[in-house]
Homo-oligomer: A and B are copies of this chain.
Amino acid sequence: MFGLAIGVPHPSLFPYETMGAEVLPPTAFSVGDPDGILSWFWSVFKAKTSKTRISIPKYANPKDGPNAIQLSTALQYSMVTGLPAFVEFVRNFVLQVFQPAYSDFRVLANSGNTDGWTKACALLCQSGEYILTEDWTYPGALLSAWPSGVRPYPVPMDSLGMIPHGLECILAEWKEDDHEGKRRPHVMYTIPVGQNPTGAVMDAERKQEIYDICVKYDIIIVEDDPYYFLQYPEYKRKSERSLRSHIPGKVNPETSRKFVDTLAPSYLKIDHQGRVIRLDTFSKTIGPGCRLGWTTCNPLFATTMENYSASKTNQTSGISQAMVMQLVAKQWGHDGYVRWLRGIGAQYTERRDLMIDSLFEASSSGLGLAQNHGLSQGTVKVYDAHVKSTGVLYDNLDEKLPSKDKTLFSFAIPNGGMFLWIKFHLKNHHDWVPHPGPGSALEVKLWTDLAEAGVLFAPGYMFSTDEEDAPPDESFGEPHVRSEYAHMRVSFSSATKEEITEAMKTFIQVILKFFR
């Protein structure tokens, strides 16, 4: 057979003969270490001493089978679903980790979750309609939908994410006449783990409730889950953390399975109807610059998005696929990758712990932090910060405040993701006046004061879904006019230990001055 139909370059003209990399072992970062701060340094030191190599040949040894990775294929045009090695690894990973409720699910490579969501959006959304989102959400997702006139319809949320009752009310009471003739939303965009910006992690029970409502009202769920493997144990005070048990750090199938069982399940696990489109990415676990992820969904949706990909973007970078798969699938393997994910999770746990430790410490001289038992849920603890009425240091942080009026800010300690979400009680500022909508002058002043002191937080209005006709914000359980509050998103993902500690100190100084 002489194939002269397809116009592709001959692989002998590709200038790369082999590609390779020096890589860390899957055990590079310790897991479950009793003292987070120590392991942070230990692991970096350790990693430097145990690098290994991966190498991708131009032509793989035929013995390595049809799914071997080779540059002659990776540098060529290929299926938009992904290289054979990619599809094989990722399908098996989904099966073992997310355990979909039906067997004929499909996986489709994408260039990261922005690309994946754009394609899901093109598949599902009609121009000009509403999609359900968390009350505060990732602005990139809104931007992607915006050009098609697709607008967010916010669902009230608490520190576990969307509130089922809030969702049910919106759907049950929807009248097209109340919404400029727009039909009831039929698509939900949700970030159920380490929600951006609030850090909320939705547990199995809550997911089942939300899913059941989506079945009742025929809603397709797009589960954008970049932070899935950044799920953390409940925060404990620094002095209590040495009690945490030490988990062995080896690559081990049994340990892999146990770890996976500790994670909040994906919607896929309860999706017996095939109404979930799940987006996964290597951005937070390997590196954002890979621009590599995948979409898991039913075969009908997959085929449509595959065709869309073929015409709109073409395949995902073969170099990225080859480099990531040679490492993750071939060098590490499934259990090795799960071990790596545990290590990454432990690193972010330490960062989360360090930020909260620093916040408690910085607050200790001028503020009291008291747990708000009314708003805390499950393992999520919500704290209110108030001006100390006495000069005495508060040792018991759980002490009840005599009055909530003096609260300056509140926050839930995040059990996932990269962010601490701080709610500022602007109404306790002496210049506060009622003002409808987000982005008040006081909010801008607070952000500017912080920035001028050298602390850059992401202003909350960036994540707002607020529109004049939106339902009242019920975050943290109490309806309010938004201008009574301002929010900021504080990232603990990339600053150094020193930066985090110093930033929290400066933050508290600025806050005390701001509310004086």
CB contacts (< 8 Å) of A492 on chain B: these are 4
Q: Does A6 contact B (CB under 8 A)?
A: yes
A5 at the interface (CB under 8 A from B): yes
Stretch at the interface among A177-185, A206-214, A287-295, A375-383: A287-295
- Chain A, residues 12-27, CB within 8 Å of chain B (1/0): the string is 1111111111111000
Query: Given the interface contacts A9-B284, A147-B308, does A289 sit within 8 Å of B17 by beta carbon?
Result: no
A20 lies within 8 A of B19 (CB)? yes
Q: Is the CB of A289 within 8 A of B78?
A: yes
On whether the beta carbons of A455 and B4 are closer than 8 Å, the reply is yes
Q: Are A493 and B317 in contact (CB under 8 A)?
A: no
Choose one: B4, B14, B499; the contact of A490 (CB below 8 Å).
Answer: B4
A3-B495 in contact (CB<8A): yes
Decide if A60 is an interface residue (CB 8 Å cutoff): no
Q: A313-B111, A319-B289 are in contact. Are A18 and B22 (CB under 8 A)?
A: yes
Residue A112 is within 8 A (CB to CB) of chain B in the complex? yes
Cβ–Cβ contact A289 & B457, under 8 A: no
Interface assignment of A311: CB less than 8 Å from any CB of chain B: yes
Residues of B within 8 A of A327 (CB): 15-16
- A105 interface residue per 8 A CB criterion: no
Please tell me if A262 contacts chain B, counting CB pairs below 8 Å: no
A292 to B111, CA, bound (A): 13
**Known interface pairs A288-B75, A289-B319. Does A495 touch B118 (Cβ–Cβ under 8 Å)?**
no
Within the complex, which residue of B18, B22, B287 is in contact with A75, where a contact is CB–CB below 8 Å? B287
Q: Which residues from B are CB-within-8-Å of A5? A: 456-458, 489, 491
Separation of A44 and B314 alpha carbons in the complex (Å) = 30
Stretch at the interface among A138-146, A247-255, A266-274, A471-479: A138-146
CB distance from A123 to the nearest CB of B (A): 11
Taking a contact as CB atoms under 8 Å apart, the answer to whether B314 and A458 are in contact is: no
Q: How far is the CA of A6 from the CA of B456 in the complex (A)?
A: 9
Question: Which bucket holds chain A's interface residue count?
Answer: 35 or more
In angstroms, Cα B494 to Cα A3, docked, is: 9
- Known contacts A16-B21, A24-B17, A457-B5: does B289 contact A77 (CB below 8 Å)? yes
Chain B residue numbers with a CB within 8 Å of A489 are 5, 7
**B114 near A196: Cβ-Cβ < 8 Å:** no
> Which chain B positions have C-beta within 8 A of A216?
none
> How far does the Cβ of A353 sit from chain B's closest Cβ, in whole Å?
15
Contacts of A502 in B (CB 8 A): 2
A112 to B417, CA, bound (A): 33
Bits for A97-125, please: 1 = Cβ < 8 Å to B, else 0.
Answer: 00000000000000110110010001000
Report whether B4 and A495 are in contact in the complex, using a CB–CB cutoff of 8 Å: yes
Q: Kindly list chain B residues whose C-beta atoms are within 8 Å of the C-beta of A315.
A: 289, 291
* Residues on the B chain within 8 Å of A491, using CB: 4-8
A22: which B residues are within 8 A, CB to CB? Answer: 16-18
Chain B hits for A14, CB < 8 A: 286-287
A347 within 8 A of B: yes
Q: Which residues of B contact A146 (CB under 8 A)?
A: 311
User: Can you name 5 A-B pairs with beta carbons within 8 Å?
Assistant: A1-B454, A10-B493, A16-B23, A75-B286, A319-B320
